[in-house]
Structure 1
Amino acid sequence: MVFARTLLLVQLLLCATLGFAIDISGKISWNDVCPNASTLGQAKASLDNDIFRGGIKADGSFVIPGVPDGVHLLSIISHDFFFEQLRIDVNGTTVEARPYVPGTPLNPPSTVLLSYPVTLAAKEKANYFVPPESFNLAGMLANPMMLLMVFGGALMLAMPYIINNMDPEALEEFKAQQQKIGGVQSALQGGDIKAGLSALASVGDTGSSTQVNKGQSLPKARGNKKSRR
C-alpha cells in the first residue's frame, strides 16, 4: 500500500515536471563554411554542457525536449566547425533567445532579442593541423644558450692573443692566480672543503696585496725622477 502511494506520488511529480518543461527548437543555416549536413558530420545541439541535448536532422533542424524554466546556454557541438553560443530564457511557454559571448556574466541579460526558433550558422572550420616550424637562424642565434656558447668560443680563441700582449709581470700574476684557482678546484673536488676555502681566501689576499704593492711603487718612481732632476 505504501509502495503504491509512493509510486503514484512520483508519477504525479513527473507529470508536473513535464508540464513545466518545453521543447527548444532551432535550425542550422547552411553557408559557405558548412554547406550541408554531410559536411557537418557528427554534431548535436546541447544545452548547459550537454544536460539537455537533441540531434540534428539532415535539413539542419533540431529539437531539445523537456527543457525546464530558467536560463540556459545553447551550443552546437561539432568536431569540425565552430558555432556561436546563444542564451535561452524559458519562462513557462515563453522562449527568448539572446546572443551570448563566452566568459561574460549571464546577468544582466542582453537587450538584443533574436528570432525564435533560433537559427545558427558555422563561423569557421576547425583546423587541428599545426605546420612544423621552419629553420630560423635569427631565432637560434637569439637563444641565450647559443649566445653563451658563441661568447665562450670567442673568448677561448682570443685568450692566446690576450696572453701574448700582456706585460711580463701581469702574465706571471695571471699564471699564479690560475695555479691557485686550480688548487681550489682540486681541493673542492677532493672533498676537502676547509682546504679549498683557505686556498680561496689566499687568492683574495694575494690579489689585494699585489694592488697595494703597485700603488706604493708608483710614488717612489716619481720621487726618483724628481731627485734626478
Structure 2
Amino acid sequence: MKNIQLLVYFLAIYIVHAVSEIIENDSDIGSDFKITGKIEILASKDKEWLTNTQILVDGGEYIAYPRSDGSFVINGLPSGSFVVEIVNPAYIFEPARVEITSKGKIRARKVNYLQASVVKTIPYPLEFRERRKTNYFQVREQWKVTDFLFNPMVLTMVLPLLMLMFLPKMMNAADPETQKEMHSQMKALNDKSSIPDMSEFLAGLFGSDSKKSSKSKAVRKK
C-alpha cells in the first residue's frame, strides 16, 4: 500500500514538473524576435555621439546601445507593434514603428499619431539619420529698420507729418479751378451755419410733437 502511495506521489511530481516546462517553453515561443537597424549622423565626423546614444522601444521598455559602426540589435521581443526611438542629447531623430507578426514577419513604417490609419512604409532593417540638431536656447531676434518703421506708434506720428508736408505742395501744383473747388469745400465744412445744430433739431422735433398733442387735446375738449 505504501509503495502505491509513493508511486502516485512521484507520478504527480513528474506531471507537475512536465507541465511547468511545457508552459515555460510556450511562453518562450514568440519572444525570440529581434529588431535590427543602423544609426548615422552625417553632421558629425567623429564617433563620440555613440556613447550618448540609446535605442528605446516603447518608451524604454526595451533598451539597447549602438555598436561602434552605428548598428544595433534588440533581442527578446514578442510579436506585436513597437515604437523605436533614438535618444541623443545633441541630435533629434524621427521615430519608427515596427510590427512583428506571430510568424516572424517584420514591417516598418513611419510614426503618425495624428493619422494612425495612414501607413507609409520605410526600409527594414531600420536606418536612422539625424533630422536636425537640438536647440536648447531660442535665437535672439535681430533689430531691423522695418520693425521700427512699421511700428503703429511711429506710423501714427509720421503719417500726419507727411500729410502736412505734401498736401500744400499738391494744392499749389493743382489747377486754379481745382484749388477753388477745394477752398469752397473747406469753407463749407468750416461754416457752422450750413451745419444744423443737433440741439435745435431735437428741440424742433420734440416741440412739434408736443404741439400736435396739445392740439389733439383741445379738439377732444370741444
When normalised by structure 2's length, the TM-score is 0.51
CA distance in 1, matches of 2:105, 2:23: 23
CA distance in 1, matches of 2:198, 2:20: 94
CA distance in 1, matches of 2:87, 2:133: 13
Q: How far 1:100 moved relative to its partner? A: 0.8
The residue aligned with 2:49 is 39
Larger Rg: 2
* 1:121 match: secondary structure: strand
CA distance in 1, matches of 2:86, 2:59: 10
Corresponding position: 1:58 with 2:68: yes
Question: Unaligned stretches of 5+ in structure 2?
Answer: 1-18, 166-185, 203-222
Change (3 A) 1:126 1:100: same
**Number of aligned residues:** 159
Corresponding position: 1:85 with 2:95: yes
CA distance in 1, matches of 2:201, 2:55: 83
Question: Unaligned stretches of 5+ in structure 1?
Answer: 1-8, 159-165, 174-205, 213-229
The residue aligned with 1:115 is 124
The residue aligned with 1:215 is none
Deviation track 1:14-44 (CA, whole Å, cap 9, x = no partner) reads 7654432234342424453244531344121
Q: How far 1:133 moved relative to its partner? A: 1.7
CA distance in 1, matches of 2:33, 2:39: 20
CA distance in 1, matches of 2:106, 2:123: 7
CA distance in 2, matches of 1:20, 1:95: 12
Task: Determine if contact 1:40/1:80 at 8 Å carries over to the other structure.
Answer: no
CA distance in 1, matches of 2:23, 2:155: 74
When normalised by structure 1's length, the TM-score is 0.50
Q: Map 1:44-193 to 2 at 5 A.
A: 44-92=54-102, 94-103=104-113, 105-107=115-117, 109-110=119-120, 112=121, 114-116=123-125, 118-148=126-156, 150=158
Change (3 A) 1:70 1:139: same
CA distance in 2, matches of 1:134, 1:40: 36
Q: How far 1:88 moved relative to its partner? A: 0.9
Which deviates further from its counterpart, 81-90 or 93-102? 93-102
Change (3 A) 1:39 1:53: closer
> Percent identity, aligned pairs only?
20
* 1:147 match: secondary structure: helix
CA distance in 2, matches of 1:80, 1:69: 32
Deviation track 1:33-69 (CA, whole Å, cap 9, x = no partner) reads 2445313441211222333322223332323343222
Task: Determine if contact 1:53/1:64 at 8 Å carries over to the other structure.
Answer: yes
CA distance in 2, matches of 1:136, 1:70: 54
Deviation track 1:140-180 (CA, whole Å, cap 9, x = no partner) reads 232334434556x85xx99xxxxxxx99xx69x8xxxxxxx
The residue aligned with 1:183 is none
CA distance in 2, matches of 1:19, 1:132: 56
